[in-house]
Amino acid sequence: MEWTDEGIVLGVRRHGESSAIVELLTRSHGRHLGLVRGGAGSRMRPLLQPGNSVSAVWRARLDEHLGVYALEGTRLRAAVVLTSSHAVYGVTHLASLARLLPERDPHEDIYERLDRTLDDFDDAGDAAAHLIRFELAMLAELGFGLDLENCAATGATADLIYVSPKSGGAVSRAAGEPYRDRLLRLPPFLREGEAGTNGWSDQDLQDGFRLTGLFLLRHVLEPRGQGHSDARDGFINAVTRNRARISPAV
């Protein structure tokens, strides 16, 4: 058995004295593990960092075997990622989300979204908005997508500013006003046709993380006996500190 694919490094663990087991999210073969001979050595360490993109050749005698990877770097992001705390936490959290996907099950849309998200960690606010969108995409990919295009109460498509915490459906301003204290806020950058139009405030980002966090916890993590990763909290805190530091004094 042999195949060649694009991949993103999610994680690495030592195997024996000199080898490593590398976990990739690949474009066409999904989340896939393989052995890298010499992967524990200093020569391979810069390549086998989470967030790096690689070209992978996987070989095994049988499809169900672990197999062996031959990897070449195509985009080594780790050197940039390691310069900021929000990026370090963000890459770790993205990898934990990707691990929610079934092993060896292709998810090309998620692969492409992860690839784009990893390329945009320079600005903390941009990175936060992209990560929230990635969490929404993961909910949809796992069968728990939110309906943010129509009002759950009236079917309206305009002025959607709330989300029902029960149904995950958007709610218009008029329909939600009497219940606003019980509804989640839908930030403008997640509304249809408004993505990134006016940027995002700190409150928008907090609302976005609250929204995705609730549904990820309820539908995906808690049924598996899990909670949010420490890296998620670390990322949110690092983004908050970064934006506070660069905001002009009032």
Query: Which CATH number belongs to the domain containing residue 42 in this structure?
Result: 2.40.50.140
76 compared with 191, residue with greater pLDDT: 76
- Sorting pLDDT into bands at 50, 70 and 90, what band is 250? very low
Distance CA(244)–CA(86), nearest Å, equals 13
Task: Specify whether 50 is located in the same domain as 128.
Answer: no
Same-domain status, 140 and 238:
yes
Give the DSSP per-residue string, 2-19: EEEEEEEEEEEEEETTTE
What pLDDT digit, counting tens, does each position of 37-57 carry? 999 999 999 999 999 999 999
**In contact, 82 and 52? CB cutoff 8 Å:** no
195 and 97 both lie in a single domain:
yes
Please give the pLDDT value at position 159. 94
Which domain covers residue 161, as residue numbers?
84-246
Q: Does residue 248 sit in helix, strand or coil?
A: coil
List the one residue out of 118, 115, 88 whose CA is nearest residue 237. Answer: 88
> Which of 48, 79, 110 is a domain's end point?
79
Q: What integer pLDDT is reported at residue 227 of this predicted model? A: 96
pTM: 0.93
Res 196 pLDDT > 80: no
- Residues 101-134: tens digit of each pLDDT: 999 999 999 999 999 999 989 899 999 999 999 9
Q: What whole-number distance in Å separates Cα of residue 59 and Cα of residue 35?
A: 10
Residue range 198-222: mean pLDDT, rounded? 93
Percent over 70 (pLDDT), the chain: 95
Query: At residue 154, does pLDDT exceed 80?
Result: yes
11 and 29 together in one domain? yes
Instruction: Say how many domains are in the chain.
Output: 2
